[in-house]
């Protein structure tokens, strides 16, 4: 199925696992469960060529806002920069 028997990154052992993949297209996000070969050493994921094609198809669907076959799954948010900066301030500036 895959051209690799060992991880191409670190040479570690690969194991077939069901993983959660997050795809972005335009402003939208889609989540799906797919089977991948996962490196037990570094966590690198290898996908079958057909699966990679499927990812591309899903990204294009998201870009086109073609949501047939997709179910709503909560909302996606962009973390506000102002809020983020507040969280990143040095501990000395924080109350308590
Ligand atoms: Zn690896």
> Residue 7 domain-assigned?
no
Q: Which residues surround ligand 1, an ion (CB under 5 A)?
A: 7, 9-10, 12, 39, 41-42, 44
- Find the domain containing 69 and state its range: 14-93
pLDDT of residue 91: 65
Higher-pLDDT residue of 73, 90:
73
> Residue 74 domain-assigned?
yes
> Residue 51 domain-assigned?
yes
pLDDT of residue 89: 80
- Phi and psi at residue 54, to the nearest 5°: -65, -40
Cα 7 to ligand 1 centroid, rounded to whole Å: 5
Looking at the structure of the chain, the number of domains it has is 1
> Residue 29 domain-assigned?
yes
Provide the terminal-to-terminal Cα distance of the chain, rounded to the nearest Å. 56
> Residue 50 domain-assigned?
yes
Cα separation, 23 vs 30, in Å, equals 5
pLDDT of residue 65: 95
- H or E element that contains 50: helix 49-63
> Residue 70 domain-assigned?
yes
Cα 34 to ligand 1 centroid, rounded to whole Å: 19
pLDDT of residue 69: 96
* The pLDDT of residue 93 is above 70: no
> Residue 37 domain-assigned?
yes
Q: In this predicted model, what pLDDT tens digit does every residue of 3-61 receive, in sequence order?
A: 788 999 999 999 999 999 999 999 999 999 999 999 999 999 999 999 999 999 999 99
> Residue 6 domain-assigned?
no
Cα separation, 37 vs 46, in Å, equals 5
pLDDT of residue 76: 86
């Amino acid at each position: 199925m895959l051209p690799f028997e060992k991880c191409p990154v670190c040479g570690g052992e690969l194991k077939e696992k069901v993983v959660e993949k997050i795809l972005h297209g335009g402003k939208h996000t889609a989540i799906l469960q797919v089977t991948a070969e996962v490196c037990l050493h570094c966590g690198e994921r290898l996908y079958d060529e057909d699966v990679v094609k499927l990812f591309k198809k899903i990204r294009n669907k998201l870009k086109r806002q073609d949501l047939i076959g997709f179910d709503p799954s909560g909302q996606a948010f962009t973390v506000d920069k102002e809020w983020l900066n507040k969280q990143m301030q040095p501990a000395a500036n924080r109350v308590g």
